């Protein structure tokens, strides 16, 4: 394939707006008709027909220099260098033809010793605002180190340029959307999707490849720290809907970050300068910190606004269930700025088990920690997708499979090394169902879940007495303050014990079917379910 057009971006000053302020970007977005101002001061923007990431349309340039390091498969789909050239040329030609372009130059990584310099080139002002919020502006309060900015990675967000039918045929694809990333050229090309999350996750993918070479373990997790003890750091790993953002936004603790972190030689640090929270059914009572962070400088995505009052309807999912809000991390009161903490004392894996068979809280051995981390389990619920009539397991390696270029065992090994070195306790917290599966049982009360988290974080649960779960081999505490004892053993909550046993063995078999996909030490595989 022959690349078309030029691959040199024209960033001449007269046509390029570089590192504009929040106010300037909001004003330009409103003037250009990219969004509307909500009653709370946030700008609300639509992302077109793509209201979430497009993982099936993402490709990684396959070169000899990186080939053997990549876990190739459905997540990491290869693209030939010539085709990457073509995608880059299409995006560059489109961006060069725009009357106005926006550039943000900043950092990914709050730790000045472990960070990447990021240049984001967009055609939409609100995408530049998104980048300004989610990355770290040099010289801002989030970056007090005075370190000269350096250019490592480039994101070209040609969001409105869709592939033509002829171009799709040339690439051998059937979608007008393409996200192409090159780890050697340190370039990300986004074509045909206005979903801003592609910008953020493309750089997270880059951090997941580059940081291990700097001795940093990259993690898809939130992090917070006790306000009265800066050594009491906690990590919350979890897939969508498990409570990662909700549980880390704790008024009694200081937020380090809500989504992406590194665990380096000195401790944990946020990769980002902002938060990107789901806000479907958001309420002030349920999540006051997030509610109050939605103000001028925040960007709402795909929300429905009342045409008269301009108030967002957080319960309206007519555009998408994946409504989002972006805001700077320092919009959360008491957030740690810069977003750097010590070594974690507790690591919490969050899962929403819709089968109703996993214990609400259990303490993991180092081998179990590696096993459950590699598998990254949660559930899809009936009705969420066409053809899903009963709960189905969803396994995402390392609780972030779509963003992991390397093999899951490599990340699990980094986690195990740090747990052993720093003596962190690891927990599995089930925020899903009890007393039966989804549709029959009930979801664990948030008050109970918060009581379990409190017991973990204040250290009291580590000294509890534990009993083994016969199917999953997990250590279940005999008592947790604030939680009824009959809730702790899932089998006790089912009226039909035989049906519980059947469902537990079914899920255990699904774990075993999934773990067969991975290379792992024998002792780690043996730490999985027994049933």
Task: Tell me which residues are annotated as active site.
Answer: 53, 201, 220, 240, 244-245, 259, 324
Q: Which two three-digit tokens encode residue 284? A: 């002030």
Distance (Å, whole) CA 20 – CA 37:
19
Distance (Å, whole) CA 128 – CA 175:
25
Distance (Å, whole) CA 499 – CA 530:
17
DSSP 367: H
Distance (Å, whole) CA 45 – CA 127:
10
Are 232 and 359 in contact by the 8 Å Cβ rule? The answer is: no
Residues 6 or more apart in contact with residue 411 via CB below 8 angstroms:
208, 217, 218, 373, 397, 398, 404
Alpha helices for 60-211 (secondary structure H): 81-97, 125-134, 165-171, 197-210
**Mapping DSSP to helix (H, G, I), strand (E, B) and coil, where does residue 236 land?**
strand
DSSP 48: T
Cα-based distances in Å from 298 to 36, 38, 62, 240, 356: 12, 10, 37, 21, 37
Largest distance between two CA atoms of the chain:
73
Return the bridge partners of 36, or none.
Answer: 44
Within a 13 Å sphere around the CA of 30, how many CA atoms are in the beta-carbon half?
16
245: nearest Cα among 350, 333, 320, 343 = 350
Residue tagged 């291990």 (tokens) = 212
DSSP 163: P
Residue tagged 């003037």 (tokens) = 31
173: nearest Cα among 86, 49, 50, 70 = 86
DSSP string, 321-338: S--EEEEEGGGSTT--SS
The span from the first CA to the last CA of the chain, in angstroms, equals 52
Distance (Å, whole) CA 131 – CA 150:
17
Q: Which two three-digit tokens encode residue 160? A: 């409105």
On the 0-12 / 13-18 / 19+ scale of CB atoms within 10 A, 18 is: middle
243: nearest Cα among 378, 362, 333, 383 = 378
Alpha helices for 379-443 (secondary structure H): 408-422
Return the bridge partners of 391, or none.
Answer: none
CA dihedral sign of residues 336, 147, 104, 188? negative
């Amino acid at each position: 394939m022959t690349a078309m057009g030029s691959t040199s971006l024209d960033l001449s000053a007269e046509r390029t707006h570089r590192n504009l302020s929040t106010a300037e970007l909001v004003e330009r977005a409103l003037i250009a008709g990219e969004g509307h101002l909500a009653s709370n001061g946030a700008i609300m923007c639509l992302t077109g027909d793509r209201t979430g990431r497009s993982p099936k349309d993402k490709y990684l340039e396959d070169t000899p220099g990186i080939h053997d390091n990549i876990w190739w498969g459905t997540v990491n789909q290869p693209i030939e260098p010539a085709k990457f050239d073509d995608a880059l040329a299409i995006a560059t030609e489109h961006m060069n033809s725009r009357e106005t372009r926006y550039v943000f130059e900043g950092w990914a990584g709050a730790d000045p010793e472990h960070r990447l310099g990021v240049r984001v080139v967009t055609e939409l002002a609100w995408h530049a605002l998104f980048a300004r919020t989610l990355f770290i502006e040099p010289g801002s309060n989030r970056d007090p180190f005075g370190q000269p900015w350096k250019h490592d990675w480039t994101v070209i967000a040609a969001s409105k340029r869709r592939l033509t039918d002829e171009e799709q045929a040339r690439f051998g694809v059937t979608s007008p959307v393409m996200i192409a990333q090159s780890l050697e050229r340190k370039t990300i090309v986004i074509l045909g999707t206005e979903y801003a999350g592609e910008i953020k996750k493309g750089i997270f993918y880059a951090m997941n490849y580059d940081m291990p070479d700097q001795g940093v373990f990259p993690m898809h997790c939130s992090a917070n720290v006790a306000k009265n003890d800066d050594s009491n750091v906690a990590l919350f790993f979890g897939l969508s809907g498990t409570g990662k953002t909700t549980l880390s936004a704790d008024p009694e603790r200081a937020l380090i970050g809500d989504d992406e972190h590194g665990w380096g030689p000195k401790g944990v640090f946020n990769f980002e300068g902002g938060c990107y929270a789901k806000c479907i059914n958001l309420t002030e009572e349920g999540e006051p910190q997030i509610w109050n962070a939605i103000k001028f400088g925040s960007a709402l995505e795909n929300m429905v606004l009342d045409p008269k009052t301009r108030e967002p309807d957080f319960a309206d999912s007519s555009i998408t269930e994946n409504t989002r809000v972006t805001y700077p991390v320092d919009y959360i009161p008491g957030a740690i700025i810069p977003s750097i903490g010590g070594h974690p004392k507790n690591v919490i894996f969050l899962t929403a088990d819709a089968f109703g068979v996993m214990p609400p809280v259990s303490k993991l051995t180092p081998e179990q920690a590696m096993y459950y981390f590699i598998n990254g389990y949660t559930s899809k619920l009936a009705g969420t997708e066409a053809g899903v009539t009963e709960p189905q397991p969803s396994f995402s390696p390392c609780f972030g499979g779509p963003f992991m270029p390397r093999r899951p065992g490599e990340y699990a090994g980094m986690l195990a090394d740090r747990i052993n070195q720093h003596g962190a306790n690891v927990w599995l917290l089930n925020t899903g169902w009890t007393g039966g599966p989804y549709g029959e049982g009930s979801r664990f009360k948030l008050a109970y879940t918060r009581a379990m988290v409190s017991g973990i974080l204040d250290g009291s649960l580590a000294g509890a007495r534990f009993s083994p779960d016969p199917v999953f081999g997990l250590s279940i505490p005999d008592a947790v303050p604030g939680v009824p004892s009959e809730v702790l053993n899932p089998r006790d909550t089912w009226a039909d014990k035989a049906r519980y046993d059947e469902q537990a063995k079914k899920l255990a078999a699904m774990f075993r079917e999934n773990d067969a996909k991975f290379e792992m030490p024998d002792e780690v595989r043996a730490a999985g379910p027994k049933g």
